[in-house]
A and B are shown apart, each in its own frame.
Chain A
Amino acid sequence: MEYTVEVFLDDYRLEKIKGSAVESKIETAFGGELKLLKVKVGEEVKNDLLKAFETARIDSRACITDTPVAFKRALFEEIAKQKSLGEEVVKAVLARIDEIKELAAKESDFLPAPEIETE
């Protein structure tokens, strides 16, 4: 069975993949308002992800959700670097699992807020 990891795209991320082969694979949701990339993974990588992150779960769409933000950020960086949506980008992130877990542990205490005007 095939599983999906969704990576949401904002303007910053769109700029990072502009002109690459990955740009043509952008999908949309909510009437085109939400842009995302979908990385497909097999059973083995899915199990590795569930093992690595205790919060991770599979939703009704066979989508792997509730992974740490640190993982999602690293995954996007890897996509932008490798210009690929293949399973190998997830494997590359999992190869840095200790570093990602360390960042994920800090996430429960601090997450940087986006730089938008709030007043």
Chain B
Amino acid sequence: MAGLYFNRPMPHGGKLVERVITDRTIAKKYLAACTKYCAFYDIKPTLHYKRGVPVRNVYREIMSVCYGFFSPVEGSMTSAELESVLSKRRLLSGWVFPYPILFDISREDYKKLGVSEGDRLILRLKGKPFAMLDIEEIYEIDPEELANRTFGSPETNPEVVREKFDDKHPGWVIYRSHQPIILAGKYTIINEPIFKPPFDRFWLPPRKCREVMEKRGWRTAIAHQTRNVPHVGHEHLMKNAAYTGDVEPCHGILVNAIIGVKRRGDYPDEAILEAHEAVNKYGYIKPERHMVTFTLWDMRYGNPLESLLHGIIRQNMGCTHHMFGRDHAAVGEYYDSYATQILWLKGIPSYGFDKPVNEVEGGLLIRPQNMREFWYCPVCKEMAYSENCNHTKEKEKLSGSLIRGLVAEGVQPPVVIMRPEVFKVVVKWWKKFNYPFVNERYVQRKEEELEVDLPDLD
């Protein structure tokens, strides 16, 4: 019988990365030593290479690296590591990793800093010391080439890429907007940021998350990726995908929202978190079985590549399974709708996976639960799974644009589409921001205020 049970998987790479100095006395000593010998750099948001609006803030990547969400990545990648990730989607250690993680600065800032390899750089956030970067290598990139190679093209990745990536794709824009000078090296947080409400309630880094799972008795847990407020279709996806497990359904559902700069028309991060919380708070899924958390990351919308990062994050958090639906972390028509499922079921050789991600050397241990679609069936009179329900003519799909249309007009969506408590959360934040969705003003404000404040360390 014991052989039938699944164990919590080890972190990706074998060990959780934790690069946070929590002892403030030690942190102060580091800072005092650095004040004499190190250069200081104020972290700036990455601005759209054409429009000048914020598209990313590297502080989110530093947080996700140092708290272990991206284990085994420990910092900004060297040129050899970058090449390895772009050509094979593997770190130099051989562990699978999909995206370049880079600390980029402009040529002007590089000149001003006057740093060289072997130096330590103190990174300030909101004017206060935040982290150290121990510079191993300094090199230059061509941002356009970086963006193109990160995502591929219909020619180089014909299995799943349908359209050439361009400046309508937010992830491509993020890499295209990188500054040309890369400072590579390990990050260490020396001043732990304090999350502002409501983010503070949902911050659960991997080690803590694993402890909570243990305490709750979750032998198995399935991850739900989200960048949206949940409609009833999402709720059914969670409930039904969680029927997988080992000898019984998964003990827990871990909702992990991606928090960072998003597309216009997405919902504000605050609403996403509290709306998912409403699902358990009002009993649609028992709170003992459903937990809402987040990861800081400016989404790259890379569908199969993003699913790899999601798998890594949630394996590091302790999940045994990950649900993947249609158009996972996708935008537009760049990818095949089921590109993520192709990656996890067959592999995508052109991205470096001639077998499913779980079967390759250095691959993931988290198990995929690939789901098709849920729709409302007026004949079955229920939210139905597309592979069960044969009333394909009568089906009524819950499209994002339908729900956005209702919300924008202030029409309360019917309970079969969106729970009233979820809609109330949307309206609560709508009143706060004067707008129900992400718009330019929200992005500007978010990048000025960020999700965190920093305590004094001096």
Using CB atoms and an 8 Å cutoff, list the residues of chain A in contact with chain B. Answer: 8-10, 29-31, 33-34, 59, 65-66, 69, 72-73, 107-114, 116-119
Contact = CB atoms under 8 A, between A and B. Distances in A.
- Interface centre among B378, B414, B440, by most chain A C-beta atoms within 10 angstroms, is B414
- Interface centre among A34, A113, A116, by most chain B C-beta atoms within 10 angstroms, is A113
Interface of B: 264, 376, 378, 381, 396, 399, 401-402, 405-406, 408-417, 424-425, 427-428, 430-431, 434-436, 439-441
Contacts of B409: 8, 69, 72-73
B434 A111 contact: yes
A61 to B, nearest CB: 9
A109 B440 CA distance: 8
Given A9-B411, A114-B412, 18 more contacts: A8-B405, A8-B406, A10-B411, A10-B412, A30-B414, A30-B416, A33-B414, A33-B417, A65-B402, A69-B408, A73-B409, A111-B410, A111-B435, A113-B427, A114-B410, A118-B427, A118-B428, A119-B428
Chain A contact residues, majority secondary structure: loop
Nearest to B414: A33
Nearest to B436: A111
B436 A113 contact: yes
Nearest to B398: A30
Contacts of A118: 424-425, 427-428, 431
A112 B436 CA distance: 9
A89 to B, nearest CB: 17
Contacts of B436: 111, 113
Contacts of A8: 405-406, 409, 411
16 contacts: A9-B411, A30-B378, A30-B414, A30-B417, A33-B414, A33-B416, A65-B405, A72-B405, A72-B409, A107-B408, A108-B264, A109-B439, A112-B410, A113-B427, A113-B434, A113-B436
A112 B434 CA distance: 7
- Interface centre among A34, A65, A72, by most chain B C-beta atoms within 10 angstroms, is A34
A30 B428 CA distance: 25
Contacts of B416: 30-31, 33
A8 B425 CA distance: 21
B372 to A, nearest CB: 17
Nearest to A117: B424
B405 A113 contact: no
Nearest to A68: B408
Contacts of A107: 408
B399 A113 contact: no
A10 B428 CA distance: 19
A34 B402 CA distance: 11
B405 A34 contact: no
Contacts of A109: 434-435, 439-441
Contacts of B402: 65
Contact of B378 (A31, A59, A66, A73): A31
B217 to A, nearest CB: 34
Contacts of A59: 399, 401
A66 B406 CA distance: 11
Contact of B430 (A29, A33, A113): A113
B363 to A, nearest CB: 37
Contacts of B264: 108
A108 B439 contact: yes
A59 B414 CA distance: 21
Contact of A33 (B410, B415, B425, B440): B415
Contacts of A34: 413-414, 417
Contacts of B414: 30, 33-34
Contacts of A9: 411
Contacts of A69: 408-409
A34 B436 CA distance: 20
A65 B358 CA distance: 40
The list of the 8 closest CB pairs from A to B, nearest first, reads A33-B414, A114-B410, A118-B428, A113-B430, A10-B411, A8-B411, A113-B431, A34-B414
Contacts of B396: 29-30
Contacts of A66: 401, 405
Contact of B408 (A30, A111, A116): A111
A113 B435 CA distance: 7
B386 to A, nearest CB: 15
A108 B412 contact: no
A119 to B, nearest CB: 8
B430 to A, nearest CB: 4
Nearest to B399: A59
Nearest to A114: B410
A91 to B, nearest CB: 21
Contact of A30 (B376, B435, B439, B440): B376
Contacts of B413: 34
A36 to B, nearest CB: 10
A27 B345 CA distance: 42
Contacts of A119: 428
Contacts of B428: 118-119
Contacts of A116: 412, 424, 427
Nearest to A66: B401
A39 to B, nearest CB: 15
Contacts of B411: 8-10
